[in-house]
Structure 1
Amino acid sequence: MKKIILAVMAALFISTAASAQQAGNWAVGPRMNIYTNTGDAVVGLGAFARYSFDDNWRIEPSLTALLHSGCSIDLSCDAQYVFHVSSQWDLYPAVGITANDIGRWAAGLNIGGGFDYNITSNWDISAGLKWQPMFDDWRKNPVVISIGAAYKF
């Protein structure tokens, strides 16, 4: 199961990189997540890609390495609806799916939102907060705080 999920995410990231030719539709960048409500806070470092379907709808797959004893990963894919508050600020709610192995493999949902601040026409910084209710019954559902940057092309 682990290999199948990794292969699917690798194919998604490869197709993202290979297809990123249309100006304004793609963004990629690094991200740091802090997973709270997991016993001890867990820090994650990773990357994400965004594909904008139009001015408001976009999809964001991400891959994060969780830096704790027994190093694990978090694979997520969110749909976001972007509200353009001003020329520099964007606000978005997000919903999606996740799979991670904090303890053991489980799948769940992402429910949350965040904002983007446009530094230049090609760069922005972002921050977000999401809750990850998992589909198993033994673990606490993490609340994830994230910060990152994106290069838009």
Structure 2
Amino acid sequence: MKKILLTVAAALCMAGAASAQDKGKWALGPQIGVYTNTGGDGAIFGVGAVSRYSISDVWRIQPAVTFLCKKHCSVDISADMQYIFHPARFWKLYPQLGLSANDIGDWSCGINVGAGTDFSIARNWDLTAGFKWMIQTHKNWKNPIIISLGATYKF
């Protein structure tokens, strides 16, 4: 009887560990953002899409494109690397570091430094929130702080 209970407990533990693995999974979704500290334009609102690919259980890459709503058409393209912490089963925290290119004023490249969080609201849906500081190479443009909200569908 003890062997059967031990076997069942081990099987449950292995099933729980296997279900926590995200390696090789994709996620896609919409995202909105507010670009603050952009200079004379004030805050700029952006609408875009984000995708995520889990490289391992704790590392993932997040490419994104955001169309900025300002006087002329503008775009921000970024790719961030994130390290995932799991404080709870439904909650993830992550610092992020990445690269970006945008034409907020004139084309500029930059380095992104920030953090974010994901909340699981359903089996395949997460709500996301984050911020990042974009350190740009263009000497005449300020370094914006981006506050973003979104949702992702995991498959």
State the TM bucket, normalised to the shorter chain. 0.7 to 0.9
TM-score scaled to structure 1, two decimals? 0.84
Q: 1 CA distance for matches of 2:118 and 2:23?
A: 18
| Kept after mapping to 1: 8 A contact 2:23/2:55 | no
In the superposition, the TM-score normalised over structure 2's length comes to 0.83
**1:18 corresponds to:** none
* Separation in structure 2 between the aligned mates of residue 105 and residue 46 of structure 1, nearest angstrom: 18
What's the Cα RMSD here?
1.4
Q: Distance in 1 between matches of 2:79 and 2:23?
A: 22
Correspondence 1:116 to 2:118: yes
Taking the aligned partners of 2:142 and 2:123, their CA distance within structure 1 comes to: 40
1:77-105 deviations in whole A, cap 9, x for unaligned? 00000001101110000000000000110
Runs of 4+ in 1 over 3 A off after TM superposition: none
- What number of residue pairs does the alignment pair up? 132
| Counterpart position of 1:137 | 139
**Contact 2:96/2:112 (<8 A) preserved:** yes
Question: Which ranges of structure 1 fall in alignment gaps of 5 or more residues?
Answer: 1-21
1:100 aligned onto 2:102: yes
Q: Which residue of 2 aligns with 1:16?
A: none
State the partner residue of 2:52.
50
Question: Could you say if the C-alpha distance between residues 23 and 121 of structure 1 is closer, same or farther in structure 2, counting changes exceeding 3 Å?
Answer: farther
Bigger CA radius of gyration: 2
Identity of aligned residues (%): 51
Residue 55 (structure 1) shift: 1.4
Is the contact made by 1:49 and 1:61 (CA closer than 8 Å) also made in structure 2? yes
Unaligned runs of 5+ in 2: 1-21
Deviation at residue 136 of structure 1 after TM alignment: 1.5
